[in-house]
């Protein structure tokens, strides 16, 4: 719930302060700060991908600005798993302080290592941890537990501090038949519950979904049908980090005598890492290079592609718009979207689906076939965990506000006192002491936009301007005046982009603006800014009345 904005008080000794810097209110940019006795620990450091409301933005970072002046107090960053919404912002934090210790599983750190290479940053203090490990980092005792998710090597984290014990699940589910045989450590959860969990921070993404999340294995019949019925080219699009899904597609390709091609830079990179570390088993003589594609018939290959979320520059998006340099898709071809929709990406995904359908491609997706299961715990699994752990306090994490509220409702149903279940959004400040968690304030934790090489220089005002330019166009008006003799020297010259195809439509308003400027000059106007405002108001009223449009208006008055 949205608490009143107030500056939190000074942190008392032996009190743990928890501040989500991202991930509470959005599905993305996950990062949480933990502070006790002058030391900070971060769990995750991810990005949020922009929606249609963020034109020109590449990435959105968590609230790193709240760490300014305190970077030296960070003891470590702990990573729960290797998805972009949990690791993608690390390069931007490490640019500020390169020697922060980074703790994560073997696969997670391998993916981070590749990411740092892309940003031309070198690895500094990487520390590999695994389930069962216990590590002391400053004032924080850390214990790592295995959890099942849609990427291998995911971890939950237990934090032991003088203020109490916190259990942070990361992203997880309770698949009892996992493809890699790695179960969520419910025995460990129960053991921590016996010890006494003072604050339980559980994944909220599927808290509105009743029952238990479907097993990964249960999608194999649908995959089998797609492969069996595909008579030409088959393209499977999924997350570039979904090793389990790629493994299923590889196995199915072998069964149906198809070679496999990775399409998309991140897919190639991540699957090579997963294969080198032994998380992905690639049967011999199965993989081929993209440049070898024309050596095979369409029904002899399956392409595993990025772009399941409709990202504009992804391989699948370029294929749908005939812009990919190698891969085409047309009548008789099949595209399988083996992923779910991330909230906010619906328009982008449907745009790609429509583009493919327009080209005659058959598109199979979660809406019309059982081709994907979630990586997050549903309500039944969360209820199970609350009953198993019996936490004193609950702080739902990872999700939009509706997910957080649903998760909170589950906690209350299982007996966690309502006053001890805290629903906050990014920037909310929670203090834990003597077994009680309470909201003590809120900090501004707005978006930090990445636009090319620019970080943080783009704000809401610039985004508003971009939306206006994209939706309404702009009109420029140039006028030259002589303020000494109070005469209009030339103009107005009016030009438009994205508003009207022919500048001739401005003929009448040109005459009116010239008359208004002449009148203002004769009345003694001596300020070019005043004349610019006069032009802006005049053409704004005319455009609104005549065309019901609100373009950006750029008046320029030059004095000679």
Q: What is the DSSP string of 138-160?
A: TTEEEEEEE-B-SSTT-EEEEEE
Contacts 24+ apart (CB under 8 A), 125-131: 125/99, 125/100, 125/101, 126/101, 126/102, 127/76, 127/101, 127/102, 127/103, 128/104, 129/103, 129/104, 129/105, 129/155, 130/105, 130/106, 130/155, 131/155, 131/185, 131/188
For the stretch 428-438, pLDDT in tens is: 999 999 999 99
Distance between CA atoms of residues 451 and 163, nearest Å: 40
Distance between CA atoms of residues 357 and 255, nearest Å: 28
Give the pLDDT confidence score for residue 255 in this predicted structure: 93
Give the pLDDT confidence score for residue 155 in this predicted structure: 98
Task: Name the band, by pLDDT with cuts 50, 70 and 90, for residue 231.
Answer: very high
Nearest CA among 472, 471, 498, 467 for reference residue 57: 467
Tokens, residue 352: 């790609």
For the stretch 276-331, pLDDT in tens is: 999 999 988 899 999 889 899 999 999 999 887 777 668 888 888 888 888 888 89
Bin 399: left if φ > 0, else alpha if -120 < ψ < 50, else beta: left
Give the pLDDT confidence score for residue 467 in this predicted structure: 55
Q: Are 165 and 197 in contact (CB under 8 A)?
A: yes
Helix H or strand E segment including 203:
none
Q: Is the pLDDT confidence value at 501 over 60?
A: no
Task: Name the band, by pLDDT with cuts 50, 70 and 90, for residue 30.
Answer: very high
Tell me the average pLDDT across 405-417.
Answer: 97
Distance between CA atoms of residues 162 and 551, nearest Å: 58
Distance between CA atoms of residues 473 and 316, nearest Å: 29
Q: Is the pLDDT confidence value at 142 over 70?
A: yes
Q: Is the pLDDT confidence value at 192 over 70?
A: yes
R_g over Cα of the chain: 28
Task: Name the band, by pLDDT with cuts 50, 70 and 90, for residue 453.
Answer: low
Give the pLDDT confidence score for residue 499 in this predicted structure: 63
Residue 458 or residue 343, greater confidence = 343
Give the pLDDT confidence score for residue 456 in this predicted structure: 53
For the stretch 48-93, pLDDT in tens is: 876 556 555 668 889 999 999 999 999 999 999 999 999 999 999 9
Residue 464 or residue 118, greater confidence = 118
Mean of the per-residue pLDDT values of the chain = 88
Give the pLDDT confidence score for residue 469 in this predicted structure: 55
Helix H or strand E segment including 431:
strand 428-433
Q: Is the pLDDT confidence value at 487 over 90?
A: no
Give the pLDDT confidence score for residue 468 in this predicted structure: 54
Q: Is the pLDDT confidence value at 495 over 80?
A: no
Task: Name the band, by pLDDT with cuts 50, 70 and 90, for residue 123.
Answer: confident
Task: Name the band, by pLDDT with cuts 50, 70 and 90, for residue 503.
Answer: low
Tell me the average pLDDT across 371-381.
Answer: 91
Q: Is the pLDDT confidence value at 455 over 70?
A: no
Residue 523 CB neighbours (<10 A): 8
Comparing 161-170, 238-247, 455-464, the range with the smallest average pLDDT is 455-464
Tokens, residue 180: 């890699």
Give the pLDDT confidence score for residue 202 in this predicted structure: 98
Residue 100 or residue 448, greater confidence = 100
Q: Is the pLDDT confidence value at 529 over 80?
A: no
Residues 459, 398, 205, CA angle at the centre, nearest 5°?
A: 120
Residue 339 CB neighbours (<10 A): 23
Give the pLDDT confidence score for residue 378 in this predicted structure: 97
Q: Are 430 and 437 in contact (CB under 8 A)?
A: yes
Tell me the average pLDDT across 398-423.
Answer: 97
Tell me the domains of the chain and their CATH numbers: 16-211+374-453 (3.60.15.10), 216-364 (3.40.50.10710), 460-559 (3.10.20.580)
Tell me, yes or no, if the pTM score tops 0.85.
Answer: no
Q: Percentage of the chain with pLDDT > 70?
A: 91
């Amino acid at each position: 719930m949205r608490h009143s904005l107030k500056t939190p008080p000074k942190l008392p000794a032996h009190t743990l302060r928890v501040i989500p810097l991202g991930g509470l209110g959005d599905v993305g940019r996950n990062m949480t700060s933990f502070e006790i006795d002058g030391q900070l620990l971060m769990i995750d450091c991810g990005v949020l991908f922009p929606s249609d409301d963020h034109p020109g933005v590449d990435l959105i970072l968590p609230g790193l600005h709240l760490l300014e002046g305190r970077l030296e107090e960070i003891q470590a960053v702990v990573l729960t798993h290797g998805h972009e919404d949990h690791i993608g912002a690390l390069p931007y934090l490490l640019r500020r302080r390169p020697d922060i210790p980074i703790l994560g599983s073997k696969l997670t750190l391998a993916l981070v290592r590749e990411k740092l290479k892309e940003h031309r940053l070198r690895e500094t203090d990487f520390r590999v941890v695994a389930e069962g490990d216990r590590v002391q980092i400053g004032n924080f005792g850390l214990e790592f537990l295995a959890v099942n998710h849609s990427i291998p090597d995911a971890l939950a984290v237990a934090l032991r501090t003088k203020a109490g014990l916190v259990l942070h699940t990361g992203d997880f589910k309770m698949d009892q038949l996992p493809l890699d045989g790695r179960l969520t450590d419910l025995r460990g959860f129960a053991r921590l519950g016996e010890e006494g969990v003072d604050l339980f921070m559980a994944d909220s993404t599927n808290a509105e979904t009743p029952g238990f999340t479907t097993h990964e294995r249960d999608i194999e019949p649908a995959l089998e049908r797609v492969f069996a019925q595909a008579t030409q080219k088959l393209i499977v699009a999924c997350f570039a980090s979904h090793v389990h899904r790629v493994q299923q597609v590889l196995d199915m390709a072998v069964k149906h005598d198809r070679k496999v091609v990775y399409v998309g830079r991140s897919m190639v990179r991540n699957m090579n890492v997963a294969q080198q570390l032994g998380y992905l088993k690639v049967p011999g003589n199965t993989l081929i290079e993209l440049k070898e594609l024309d050596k095979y018939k369409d029904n002899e290959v399956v392409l595993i592609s990025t772009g399941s979320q409709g990202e504009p520059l992804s391989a699948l998006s370029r294929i749908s718009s005939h812009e990919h340099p190698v891969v085409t898709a047309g009548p008789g071809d099949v595209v399988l979207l083996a992923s779910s929709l991330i909230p906010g990406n619906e328009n982008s995904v449907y745009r790609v689906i429509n583009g493919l359908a327009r080209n005659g491609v058959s598109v199979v997706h979660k809406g019309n076939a059982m081709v994907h299961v979630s990586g997050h715990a549903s309500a039944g699994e969360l209820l199970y965990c609350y009953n198993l752990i019996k936490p004193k306090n609950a702080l739902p994490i990872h999700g939009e506000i509706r997910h957080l509220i649903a998760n909170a409702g589950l906690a209350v149903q299982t007996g966690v006192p309502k006053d001890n279940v805290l629903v906050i959004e990014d920037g909310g400040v929670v203090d834990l002491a003597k077994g009680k968690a309470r909201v003590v304030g809120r900090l501004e934790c707005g978006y930090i936009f990445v636009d090319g090489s620019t970080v943080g220089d783009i704000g809401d005002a610039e985004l508003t301007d971009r939306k206006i330019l994209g939706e309404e166009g702009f009109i420029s008006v140039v006028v030259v005046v002589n303020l000494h003799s109070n005469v209009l020297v030339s103009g107005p010259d009016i030009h438009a982009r994205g508003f009207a195809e022919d500048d001739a439509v401005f003929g009448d308003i040109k005459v009116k603006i010239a008359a208004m400027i002449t009148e203002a000059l004769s009345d003694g106007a001596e300020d070019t800014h005043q004349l610019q405002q006069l032009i802006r108001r005049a053409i704004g009223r005319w455009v609104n009345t005549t065309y019901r449009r609100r373009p950006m208006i750029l008046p320029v008055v030059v004095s000679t």
